[in-house]
Structure 1
Amino acid sequence: MTQSVVVQVGQCGNQVGCRFWDLALREHSHVNKKGIYDEALSSFFRNVDSGRSESGARDTTGGKIQSLKARAVLVDMEEGVVNELLQGPLREVFDTTQLITDVSGSGNNWAVGHMTYGTAYREQIVEQLRKAAEHCDCLQCFFLIHSMGGGTGSGLGTRVLNILEEEFPEVCRIVTSVYPSAEDDVITSPYNSVLAMRELTEHADCVLPVENQSLVDIVNKIKHMSYRARSGSVIKKDCTLISGQGGVSGAEKPFDAMNNIVANLLLNITSSARFEGSLNMDLNEIAMNLVPFPRLHYLVPSLTPLYTLADVNIPTRRLDQMFTDAFSKDHQLLQADPRHSLYLACALLVRGDVKVSDLRRNIERLRPTLPFVSWNQEGWKTGLCSVPPVGHSHSLLALANNTCVKLTFVELRERFTKLYRKKAHLHHYLQVDGVEQGCFTEAVASLSSLIEEYSQLDATKGHLTPDTPRLNMAS
């Protein structure tokens, strides 16, 4: 059985991570009634006898769970979120050796996170990553969770990504990046995002981009569905949208529901690694089959049905509708419409009571309506996990390598350019050791090159030139 390690960086990364661990425990407890430490749990949790050292002493408990510890490394240059976690219901899932914190924060400055803290904490980060890796029998993947707009998430998050590539070059790196909306209240977020984009493009195997505005829209849709389903109804406190504050004590916060949607994305993408299924998909296969060109590794996620995120009384829609919705703009976690752009490849990760024949039938039904590149008409990857989300019969996560992501990057570049033309706030970055103005020009040049690569695919309608490498997709 393979294992994966989750690396949470910054406030957003740690809040989303809290949600993931809370929801994952909920799923495993629903399936694992006997409290036995099994292969499913071992994929993301270690079983530690709290009365012993972790020196490798033989297990005499008969496989019973002693104390579950998340395979995670938590990094934040402010203590607030991590301290809340240690005081909340998930405090026993982590120990202090897994945490790396400071007190002052990165001041919404990529350079402080990447250069200052990245240098000061490098050895400590490497040590914790190595410890996490040593506790794995077969390390398959690192999941990095961070945001793009702040200083720690964008700066230190991408520095951790560089460290992962240096220290574990053979281990897959899947990054979940939360992008700021155009109305973001961090004025320097365009700088931070563009500087981080260069690192993501060069050092990640796959990036799952998620936009704050899309999360807001989905939360509002779910609430509307709840009210429409039953007059005066509310989303239940223990549903997967809210989930008991996701392991953090205190009252529900404005971003909690949004963070939970991202956590559900991670639940679905890891479901085949955690549970059995007739078409289990290896995490390495995501990069292998969905990324035809190394830099074009941004996969647009969508989740359906939306009501699986909230326990509301809504009549179950036809199974076919779930597949149709996965390709509509209303279900994307990015502000984009993939149907009007070009698909390079697409993965469908289905959970629950769904037959392989249903999966194949819907692919054949949808194939004529989706514009795929001419050289990869068979560019579908499928996974079918038998364990559905708690309280529901089925769900679907679609991951589309689609040129529609270009629009997000173009808008980001425009916001960057407005600031950079005025040299606004630039001095805060240039006074950090190791940062020169060339860092900005190189970062925006990298982003422009990425945009151009997507534009060329759109312009040629996917026709190959003689020297363009082909992609061999798995069936």
Structure 2
Amino acid sequence: MTQSVVVQVGQCGNQIGCCFWDLALREHAAVNQKGIYDEAISSFFRNVDTRVVGDGGSISKGKICSLKARAVLIDMEEGVVNEILQGPLRDVFDTKQLITDISGSGNNWAVGHRVFGSLYQDQILEKLRKSAEHCDCLQCFFIIHSMGGGTGSGLGTFLLKMLEDEFPEVYRFVTSIYPSEYHLYPLFLIASLLMFFPQKSLFDIISKIDLMVNSGKLGTTVKPKSLVTSSSGALKTRHKKPFDAMNNIVANLLLNLTSSARFEGSLNMDLNEISMNLVPFPQLHYLVSSLTPLYTLTDVNIPPRRLDQMFSDAFSKDHQLLRADPKHSLYLACALMVRGNVQISDVRRNIERLKPSLQFVSWNQEGWKTSLCSIPPVGHSHSLLALANNTCVKPTFMELKERFMRLYKKKAHLHHYLQVEGMEESCFTEAVSSLSALIQEYNQLDATKNMPVQDLPRLSIAM
């Protein structure tokens, strides 16, 4: 059995991570009602003997063992981590696997990357190695962070480089939230696979749920104390915790992404298989994701969708966790991770039904990867997570570059970065160059749409 380690960096990363662990524990409790530590639980949790050994070598009575998350928590401002340690999940995290500071990174990528990266490099590496030692077979690191602040973005990208250097054979799955004021960072090129979620896209989804609640279409299906709503029935985006609902969507996606690693199934998909099948070129490792249902039973009791409708939803524009329309762009590959009592014949039938409306690259017309996990999300009969490597991400990168260049030409905020030791303006020009090259890679692929095979150009990204 393989294991994975979750690395939570910054405020956003730790909040999403905390939500993920809570949902995972609920899921395992529903399946493993006898509370037996088995292979499914060991994939993301370890069993720790917490008995105290006295001076004479005797073991004191009391709690014998405790589940500990295979996690490393990092934040240069200790507030969120302290809140976690005072909350209901306080016993789930090993206090020896936490790294905090008190000053924070001041929403400055350079401070997180250059200052705290160098300052905490040895400590972070020690925690990572300790987590790896606790695994029988370490398969991947899940990095959860945001690109909007200083710690998550700066220290997060520093961590990625560290993982590449120290654990080159271990896959690096990156889950990144980014706001509209996103900056350019070329280090994402060293991730094995990256799923990124613009806050705008997540907010759009929450707004749609809000509209359904206010219109009465969902009736009593939305729970009053869920992460989605406040006690008054309005979304918490209007209250003191505006990002709880968004974080819950991402945590729920991670729950489904890791289901094959945590539970049995007739056609389980290893986490490394996702990368091997969805990333034909190392540079093009950005995935577009869609999930149905979006919420767990702790939030919304939406009646189950018909199976065929669930597949249709996964490929519709309105269900993407990125503002994009994959149907009108080019697929490099696609993975369907299905949970519940679903047969492989159902999956194949829906693939054949949808294929005429989807365009795949000429050299990977059968670029489908499917998995079946027999355990559905708690309270639902089935679910579907679709992961697509699709050129529809290109407009997002083009908009990102355009927004950055408008600020960069005015030298806006540049001094905040250049005042940090080790930062040079060449860092920004290199980032622009990397992003331009990435956009050009997607342009080359898009140019092959509807082109006869014999006329296809030789792509520079092939390797």
> TM (normalized to structure 2)?
0.91
Equivalent position of 2:42 in the other structure: 42
Question: How far does the alpha carbon of each residue in 1:326-367 deviate from its partner, in whole angstroms, 9 at most, with x for none?
Answer: 011111111111111110000000111211110111011111
Residues 304, 381 of structure 2: 8 Å contact kept = no
Task: State whether structure 2 residue 121 is matched by structure 1 residue 122.
Answer: yes
Aligned equivalent of 1:205, options 192, 209, 213: 192
Matched residues in 1 for 2:284 and 2:138: separation?
Answer: 25
Equivalent position of 1:271 in the other structure: 259
Matched residues in 2 for 1:420 and 1:32: separation?
Answer: 54
SS in structure 2 at match of 1:48: strand
Equivalent position of 2:234 in the other structure: none
Structure 1's 306 and 452: CA in aligned 2 closer, same or farther, altered over 3 A?
A: same
SS in structure 1 at match of 2:447: helix
Number of positions where the alignment pairs a residue of Structure 1 with one of Structure 2: 446
Task: State whether structure 2 residue 222 is matched by structure 1 residue 235.
Answer: yes
RMSD of aligned alpha carbons:
2.4
1:460 deviates by 2.1
Structure 1's 314 and 262: CA in aligned 2 closer, same or farther, altered over 3 A?
A: closer
Equivalent positions of 1:189-228 (< 5 A) are 189-190=181-182, 193-195=183-185, 198-201=186-189, 203-228=190-215
Equivalent position of 1:404 in the other structure: 392
Residues 229, 312 of structure 1: 8 Å contact kept = no
Equivalent position of 1:293 in the other structure: 281
Q: Which amino acid aligns with 2:78?
A: E
Matched residues in 1 for 2:126 and 2:9: separation?
Answer: 16
Matched residues in 2 for 1:304 and 1:80: separation?
Answer: 33
1:213 deviates by 1.0
Structure 1's 309 and 175: CA in aligned 2 closer, same or farther, altered over 3 A?
A: farther
Task: State whether structure 2 residue 17 is matched by structure 1 residue 17.
Answer: yes
Q: Mind listing any 5+ residue stretches in structure 2 that lack a counterpart?
A: 232-238
Q: Which amino acid aligns with 1:66?
A: C
Structure 1's 242 and 126: CA in aligned 2 closer, same or farther, altered over 3 A?
A: farther
Matched residues in 1 for 2:93 and 2:352: separation?
Answer: 45
Q: Which amino acid aligns with 2:19?
A: R
Instruction: Tell me which moved more, 316-325 or 231-240.
Output: 231-240
- Percent identity at matched positions? 73
Structure 1's 403 and 348: CA in aligned 2 closer, same or farther, altered over 3 A?
A: same
Residues 226, 313 of structure 1: 8 Å contact kept = no
Equivalent position of 1:358 in the other structure: 346
Aligned equivalent of 1:328, options 316, 321, 326: 316
Matched residues in 2 for 1:72 and 1:260: separation?
Answer: 18
SS in structure 2 at match of 1:404: helix
1:432 deviates by 1.0
1:424 deviates by 1.0
SS in structure 1 at match of 2:184: helix
Structure 1's 257 and 232: CA in aligned 2 closer, same or farther, altered over 3 A?
A: same
Matched residues in 1 for 2:252 and 2:303: separation?
Answer: 21
Structure 1's 311 and 10: CA in aligned 2 closer, same or farther, altered over 3 A?
A: closer
1:231 deviates by 7.2
Aligned equivalent of 2:422, options 412, 418, 434: 434
SS in structure 1 at match of 2:322: coil
Q: Which amino acid aligns with 2:251?
A: A
Structure 1's 44 and 50: CA in aligned 2 closer, same or farther, altered over 3 A?
A: same
1:223 deviates by 3.2
Matched residues in 2 for 1:126 and 1:307: separation?
Answer: 35
Matched residues in 2 for 1:231 and 1:395: separation?
Answer: 19
Equivalent position of 1:368 in the other structure: 356
Matched residues in 2 for 1:470 and 1:308: separation?
Answer: 40
Task: State whether structure 2 residue 81 is matched by structure 1 residue 82.
Answer: yes
Structure 1's 231 and 159: CA in aligned 2 closer, same or farther, altered over 3 A?
A: closer
Structure 1's 45 and 269: CA in aligned 2 closer, same or farther, altered over 3 A?
A: same
Q: Which amino acid aligns with 2:184?
A: V
Task: State whether structure 2 residue 165 is matched by structure 1 residue 166.
Answer: yes
Q: Which amino acid aligns with 1:166?
A: D
Structure 1's 238 and 40: CA in aligned 2 closer, same or farther, altered over 3 A?
A: farther
1:106 deviates by 1.0
Residues 76, 82 of structure 1: 8 Å contact kept = yes
1:224 deviates by 3.3
Q: Mind listing any 5+ residue stretches in structure 1 that lack a counterpart?
A: 182-188, 245-250
Question: How far does the alpha carbon of each residue in 1:53-73 deviate from its partner, in whole angstroms, 9 at most, with x for none?
Answer: 7xxx9xxx9xx9820000000
1:241 deviates by 5.0
> TM (normalized to structure 1)?
0.89
Structure 1's 342 and 310: CA in aligned 2 closer, same or farther, altered over 3 A?
A: farther
Equivalent position of 2:154 in the other structure: 155
SS in structure 1 at match of 2:289: strand
Q: Which amino acid aligns with 2:163?
A: L
Q: Which amino acid aligns with 1:109?
A: N
Question: How far does the alpha carbon of each residue in 1:243-300 deviate from its partner, in whole angstroms, 9 at most, with x for none?
Answer: 99xxxxxx97110010010001110110000000011000001110000111000011
Matched residues in 2 for 1:408 and 1:168: separation?
Answer: 30
Equivalent position of 2:235 in the other structure: none
Equivalent position of 1:5 in the other structure: 5
Structure 1's 222 and 150: CA in aligned 2 closer, same or farther, altered over 3 A?
A: same
Equivalent position of 1:465 in the other structure: 457
Question: How far does the alpha carbon of each residue in 1:21-46 deviate from its partner, in whole angstroms, 9 at most, with x for none?
Answer: 00000100010100100101000001
Matched residues in 1 for 2:245 and 2:47: separation?
Answer: 30
Matched residues in 2 for 1:14 and 1:6: separation?
Answer: 10
